[in-house]
């Protein structure tokens, strides 16, 4: 066995990490008290390795992004080739690179009809920020400068810049820094399990859609720029709306001339068993946000897709658009995205998710429904959730939301799998390359973790 140099021991890394590294969404004091971070050192397929040599099944594809799995040499080689050829050039001042041009063309080809222009950024947050800016400018150019409010939903996640967090509906993010900014409002999410009461899901879907219309009417349609939503909420706990919801929301937006922004940062690139979830829900967005699965997370890249109506006005009347990032259209990230999309297409990962692994995961999840702690299981393709509840009949959660979810998540980790807990919902979104045997392994770990959680709680 080779021993690591002294400086690189796990303890040394952990110590240094605590001393100098501020992590996202982390209580640094608590992390230090618990002994510091798990140091991830490698990945292959759906399996991670940590610095102590443990193998961990990654049920989350990183943060919902490693769609083609870890260790894809093709992506490394695409990055290498581009770095040797041209590691960086920008897309400002009348320049482009072959990679950025080719990716823009490819995205126009594969995204839903009418989305033919793209503005590149490096993160989902930047893409949503770009969309908010672009739409405010659009309505100004249209002679309607008052149309500048954005309607979103509670529990939505659209990123972590001031604008993206304002678009999002995460109470914890808002409370700490007095968000949302003016001009960002939120309505009820289409979350039947927690909000649906005695209504049938399809009836509740219409009620949740009506909340959008009520808000438009309350504010006045002439002040509303757009409605934004993830087709399936990810970080909000995999909220899969009733089938009645999206068609009705789209109808309402059209009726009031409120533009529709679809955030496909998580759902895009095959996650739901469709290249984009908009296809599944019959959505024809005016704008669309892409990131994560665009490069399978191998490099940071995002795309704000701009529909014909907005693009036409922007181009015909907008003049120079005072917006952009140093890394907009970064050639290495674009080259990796092109190769990543090639892999998704050539390996038929979308069809596989739709026809094989998605239905298989759903069937295996259904077996968990009988568990005393499980109130509901839900999934579409390879995005899934398991509700942990105190009382199945009344859909009542345990007191202190988040406690049981955290217990279960820790059991999963001890059992060798990374799953996320959002409040008391266990969620998963594995790589689209996951096999049925690997789904079996994930389900085994989840079931034994639910058993252990029940034991901790004295349930069952
Ligand atoms: N939109 C959606 C739907 C997202 O899920 C973003 C935008 C922002 O992307 P960036 O690249 O700016 O992070 C996201 C990001 C979690 C978690 O805990 C989810 C995200 C990010 C970090 C953590 O589930 N989603």
CATH of the domain at 99: 3.40.640.10
Note whether residue 222 is domain-resident. Answer: yes
Ligand 1 contact, 130 CB (< 6 A): no
The answer to whether residues 333 and 212 belong to one domain is yes
Are residues 236 and 124 part of one domain? yes
Of the residues 290, 316, 346, the one at which a domain ends? 346
Pair 204, 352 in one domain: no
27: in domain: no
Does residue 235 have its Cβ closer than 6 Å to ligand 1? yes
pTM of the entire predicted model: 0.97
What tens digit of pLDDT does each residue of 30-39 get?
Answer: 999 999 999 9
Residues 379 and 427 in one domain: yes
In ligand 1, the atom with minimum distance to the C-alpha of 60 is 24
Q: Is the pLDDT of residue 8 over 70?
A: no
Task: Report whether residue 161 contacts ligand 1, using a CB cutoff of 6 Å.
Answer: no
Please give the distance, rounded to the nearest whole angstrom, from the Cα atom of residue 94 to the centre of ligand 1.
31
Ligand 1 pocket test target in 122, 150, 234, 327 with most atoms within 8 Å of CB: 234
Whether 188 and 335 map to the same domain: the answer is yes
pLDDT tens-place string over residues 192-232: 999 999 999 999 999 999 999 999 999 999 999 999 999 99
pLDDT at 94 over 90: yes
**213 plus 299 within the same structural domain:** yes
pLDDT tens figures, 45-77: 999 999 999 999 999 999 999 999 999 999 999
On whether residue 202 sits in a domain, the answer given is: yes
Q: Are residues 285 and 371 in the same domain?
A: no
Encode pLDDT of 431-447 as tens digits: 999 999 999 999 999 99
- Asked, for residue 273, whether it belongs to a domain, the answer is yes
Are residues 337 and 356 located together in one domain of the fold?
no
Q: Are residues 93 and 210 in the same domain?
A: yes
Counting ligand 1 atoms within 8 A of each CB, the residue from 235, 238, 289, 290 with the most, and so the one to mutate, is 235
CATH number at residue 45: 3.90.1150.10
Inside any domain, residue 32? no
Question: 113 lies in which domain range?
Answer: 74-346
Give the per-residue pLDDT at 459: 87
Task: Evaluate whether residue 188 is within a structural domain.
Answer: yes
Please report whether residue 9 resides in a domain: no
pLDDT in tens, 182-192: 999 999 999 99
Kindly give the distance from the C-alpha atom of residue 456 to the centroid of ligand 1, in angstroms, as a whole number.
Answer: 31
Which of 314, 346, 378 is the last residue before a domain boundary? 346
Query: Residue 1: which pLDDT band, with cuts at 50, 70 and 90?
Result: very low
- The 3 state secondary structure assigned to the chain is CCCCCHHHCHHHHHHHHHHHCCCCCCCHHHHHHCCCCCCEEEEEECEEEECCCCEEEECCHHHHCCCCCECCHHHHHHHHHHHHHCCCCCCCCCCCCHHHHHHHHHHHHHCCCCEEEEEEECCHHHHHHHHHHHHHHHHHHCCCCCCCEEEEECCCCCCCCHHHHHHCCCHHHHHHCCCCCCCEEEECCCCHHHHCCCCCHHHHHHHHHHHHHHHHHHHCHHHEEEEEECCCECCCCCECCCCCHHHHHHHHHHHCCCEEEEECCCCCCCCCCCCCHHHHHCCCCCEEEECHHHCCCCCCCEEEEEEHHHHHHHHHHCCCCCCCCCCCCCHHHHHHHHHHHHHHHHCCHHHHHHHHHHHHHHHHHHHHHHCCCEEEEEEECCEEEEEECCECCCCECCCCCCHHHHHHHHHHHHHCEECEEECCEEEECCCCCCCHHHHHHHHHHHHHHHHHHHHHHCCC
Q: What pLDDT, in 10s, does the model give residues 130-142? A: 999 999 999 999 9
Indicate whether 312 and 194 sit together in one domain. yes
**pLDDT above 90: percentage of residues in the chain:** 97
Q: What is the pLDDT of residues 272-283, one digit of tens each?
A: 999 999 999 999
Q: Are residues 353 and 429 in the same domain?
A: yes
Q: Does 6 have pLDDT greater than 80?
A: no
Q: Considering 346, 367, 402, which residue would you say is the last residue of a domain?
A: 346
From the CA of 123, give the closest atom in ligand 1: 11
Q: Is the pLDDT of residue 4 over 70?
A: no
Structural domains of the chain, count: 2
pLDDT beyond 60 at 113: yes
Same structural domain, 309 and 274: yes
- Has residue 12 been placed in a domain? no
Pocket test for ligand 1, best of 291, 384, 423 (most atoms within 8 A of CB): 291
């Amino acid at each position: 066995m080779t021993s690591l140099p002294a400086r690189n021991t796990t303890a040394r890394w952990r110590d240094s990490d605590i001393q100098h590294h501020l992590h996202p969404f982390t209580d640094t004091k608590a992390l230090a008290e618990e002994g510091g971070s798990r140091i991830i050192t490698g990945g292959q397929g759906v399996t991670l390795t940590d610095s102590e040599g443990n193998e961990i099944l990654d049920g989350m594809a990183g943060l919902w992004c490693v769609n083609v799995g870890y260790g894809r040499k093709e992506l490394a080689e695409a990055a290498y080739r581009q770095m040797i050829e041209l590691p960086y050039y920008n897309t400002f001042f009348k320049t482009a690179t072959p990679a950025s041009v080719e990716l823009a063309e490819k995205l126009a080809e594969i995204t839903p009809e009418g989305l033919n222009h793209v503005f590149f950024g490096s993160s989902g947050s930047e893409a949503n920020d770009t969309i908010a800016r672009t739409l405010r400018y659009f309505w100004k150019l249209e002679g309607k400068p008052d149309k500048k409010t954005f309607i979103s939903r509670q529990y939505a996640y659209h990123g972590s810049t001031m604008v993206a967090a304002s678009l999002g509906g995460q109470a914890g993010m808002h409370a700490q820094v007095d968000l949302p900014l003016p001009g960002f409002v939120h309505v009820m999410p289409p979350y039947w399990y927690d909000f649906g009461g005695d209504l049938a899901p399809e009836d509740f879907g219409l009620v949740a859609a009506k909340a959008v219309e009520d808000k438009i009417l309350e504010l006045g349609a002439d002040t509303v720029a757009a409605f934004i939503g993830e087709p399936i909420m990810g970080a909000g706990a995999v909220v899969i709306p009733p089938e009645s919801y999206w068609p009705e929301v789209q109808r309402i937006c059209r009726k009031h001339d409120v533009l529709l922004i679809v955030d496909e940062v998580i759902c895009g690139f095959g996650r739901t068993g469709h290249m984009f979830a908009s296809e599944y829900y019959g959505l024809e967005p005016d704008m669309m946000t892409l990131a994560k699965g665009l490069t399978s997370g191998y490099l940071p890249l995002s795309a704000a897709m701009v529909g014909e109506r907005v693009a036409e006005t922007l181009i015909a009347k907008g003049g120079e658009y005072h917006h952009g990032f140093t890394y907009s259209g970064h050639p290495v990230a674009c080259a990796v995205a092109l190769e990543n999309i090639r892999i998704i297409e050539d390996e038929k990962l979308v069809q596989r998710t739709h026809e094989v692994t998605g239905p298989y995961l759903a069937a295996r999840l259904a077996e968990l429904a009988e568990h005393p702690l499980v109130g509901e299981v839900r999934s579409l393709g390879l995005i899934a959730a398991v509700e942990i509840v105190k009382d199945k009949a009344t859909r009542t959660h345990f007191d202190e939301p988040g406690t049981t979810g955290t217990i279960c998540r820790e059991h999963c980790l001890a059992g060798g799998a990374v799953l996320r807990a959002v409040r008391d919902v266990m969620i998963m979104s594995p790589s689209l390359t996951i096999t049925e045997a690997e789904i079996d392994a994930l389900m085994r770990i989840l079931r034994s973790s639910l058993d252990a959680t029940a034991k901790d709680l004295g349930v069952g």
